[in-house]
Copies of this chain bind each other. A is one copy, B any other.
Amino acid sequence: MVTMTRPDAGVVAELVSHLSGQFGERAVTSRAVREHHSHGEGLADPALPDVVVFPHSNDEVASIVRLCRLARVPVIAFGVGTSLEGHVAALYGGVCLDLSQMNRVLDINAGDLDCRVEAGVTREQLNAELKGTGLFFPIDPGANATIGGMTATRASGTNAVRYGTMRENVMGLTVVTAEGRVVRTGGRARKSSAGYDLTRLFVGAEGTLGIITEIQLRLYGVPEAISAAVCQFADLASAVNAVIVAMQSGIPVARIELLDDVQMDASIRYSKLQGFDAKPTLFFEFHGSEAGVREQSAAMQAISDDFGGSTFQWATLAEERSRLWKARHDAYYAALALKPGMTSFATDACVPISRLADCILETKAEVEKSGLTAPILGHVGDGNFHLVVLFDPADPSARERAEALAKSVSLRAIRMGGTCTGEHGIGWHKLDVLEKEHGESVDLMRSIKRALDPYNIMNPGKTVPL
């Protein structure tokens, strides 16, 4: 395997000159643009690419990759920069391939409940374009990420309990390989046993095996009835245990979101939520027929009652629901606003549902011991939770403690039979725990990386430790 070192400056300069010749103003070397493309929303350890190119087609992407391959220079895909684990950092410089201008919805097949989009389409854009079809795309990681980025990180979010993750909802891909060939994977049939599942291999590979340029997605009919409710609990254990019983009972809740007392306090202030206390809280959403939604919510209320939950406060109107979910999506900013001047990062972990209470309660105790402020929230219906860790950027020991806390959460989840990341990905921040989770099978990942990207030019330094 060619491990990457920063390529020769002269080679890079010639490559940039080639790209400028071909792409004109769509090949940008200004520091501001390179800086903007050097990090996502997580901890900013900016690593600037040498040039940012804005392709408009598969063929343009292929031509850029072929030049990068010829020059043995890294190429890193970029959507809208909402990654949380350093996926887009140009650790060895190279070419940032900004796909945001490949943002067309190519086909909507209402009859087959599927569509094909370019990688730069964002999930909000897609849902706006689906308006009037009676269909929607449910995967909702909070940020208005691109479908390409969501595919590359195997994202999920609040709706995954009912609708699955990107893994379940990507039917096929157009990918530019490390050789610069445009290939199609998967297809439009609901299922297939024809050959290796290349689609699932690229989903979650974080751009290290190829550049995803188009995605075939499953769509769903907008449910006849949707209603959302909020329930508060005296303590964290009760809230989490209610979730565990609900999932074990197979209630098809569309969303179950947990906010702990610290997060709820932050969200009440930031999002001006009225009528709630700073107590552990669950946000629910139910999808189905009118009768089905009534049945699900009655079952869920009964379980919550058993754990001392409050009477559900309903948000049935679309605007009320939007306000509630906006508060949930703004949780990260609400947390930041708790401590002005602090910086923060989010980490996520996911465990089998039976271990969720143990994992969250041990984590909460560790947070309290650490002296850091770190609200807990998450998509708990999947066993997935997040920690937003706040720390003083001027205090190196605080950052060290914050990172140690995050690593400890990863290791705890792995010990409990879970994973160091349910949906944010590995990027380069979690490379050190991947082997703890996957053991010797990481060698198979390395073999695949070597086979498909022998010169290690596709987003080097990410996803799999080489």
Q: Which residues of A contact B (CB under 8 A)?
A: 109-114, 153-156, 160, 164-165, 167-168, 175, 177, 181, 183-185, 187-198, 200-201, 203-205, 209, 220-221, 244, 247-250, 289, 291-292, 295, 350-354, 382-384, 413, 417-426, 430, 434, 437-445, 447-452, 463-464
Task: State whether A198 touches B167 (Cβ < 8 A).
Answer: no
Task: Please report the C-alpha to C-alpha distance between residue A150 and residue B183 in the assembled complex, in whole angstroms.
Answer: 28
Cβ–Cβ contact A419 & B112, under 8 A: no
Provide the bound-state CA to CA distance between A451 and B295, in Å: 52
User: Closest Cβ of chain B: how far from A142's Cβ, in Å?
Assistant: 14
State whether B422 touches A189 (Cβ < 8 A).
yes
| Complex contacts, A423 vs chain B, CB 8 Å | 191, 193
19 contacts between A and B (CB under 8 A): A111-B244, A112-B352, A154-B193, A155-B193, A156-B191, A183-B441, A189-B382, A190-B383, A190-B384, A191-B350, A193-B423, A194-B437, A195-B437, A195-B442, A196-B204, A196-B205, A198-B445, A201-B201, A291-B292
CB distance from A154 to the nearest CB of B (A): 4
Contact B203 A197 (CB under 8 A): yes
Instruction: Point out the residue from B198, B354, B451 that lies within 8 Å of A109, measured CB to CB.
Output: B354
Other than A156-B191, A184-B438, give 20 A-B pairs with Cβ distance below 8 A: A110-B248, A111-B248, A154-B193, A187-B437, A189-B384, A189-B418, A189-B419, A192-B350, A193-B419, A193-B421, A194-B419, A194-B425, A195-B442, A197-B200, A221-B250, A291-B292, A444-B452, A447-B452, A448-B451, A448-B452
Bound Cα distance from A204 to B289, whole angstroms: 36
Contact of B196 with A448 in the complex, beta carbons under 8 Å = yes
Other-chain contact of A352, B114, B197, B198 (Cβ < 8 Å): B114
- Known contacts A196-B205, A197-B201, A250-B221; is-contact A189 B351 (Cβ 8 Å): yes
Known: A189-B418, A291-B291. Contact between A464 and B195, CB under 8 A? yes
Q: How far is the CB of A313 from chain B (nearest CB, A)?
A: 25
- Shortest C-beta distance, A51 to chain B (Å), equals 28
Name the residue on B nearest A168 (C-beta): B168
Q: A195 contacts which chain B residues (CB < 8 A)?
A: 204, 426, 434, 437-438, 442, 445, 463-464
| A438 CB contacts on chain B under 8 angstroms | 184-185, 194-195
CB distance from A460 to the nearest CB of B (A): 15
CB-CB nearest in chain B for A354: B111
Asked if B193 contacts A425 (CB within 8 A), the reply is yes
For residue A221, which residues in chain B have a CB less than 8 angstroms away from its CB?
249-250
- Which of B155, B192, B350, B450 is in CB contact (< 8 Å) with A422? B192
Residue of B nearest to A430 (CB): B194
- Give A125 Cβ to nearest chain B Cβ, in Å: 23
* Interface pair B204/A201, CB less than 8 Å apart: no
Pick the residue among B177, B187, B384 that contacts A417 (CB under 8 A).
Answer: B187
Chain B residues closer than 8 Å to A413, beta-carbon distance = 189
| Residue of B with least CB distance to A154 | B193
Q: Which residues of B contact A463 (CB under 8 A)?
A: 195-196
Q: For A192, A197, A419, A439, which residue has the most chain B Cβ atoms within 10 angstroms? A: A192
Cα-based distance from A188 to B413 in the complex (angstroms): 11
Q: Are A193 and B291 in contact (CB under 8 A)?
A: no
Bound Cα distance A352, B444 (Å): 34
Complex Cα distance A155/B191, Å?
9
Least distance between A83 CB and chain B CB atoms (Å): 11
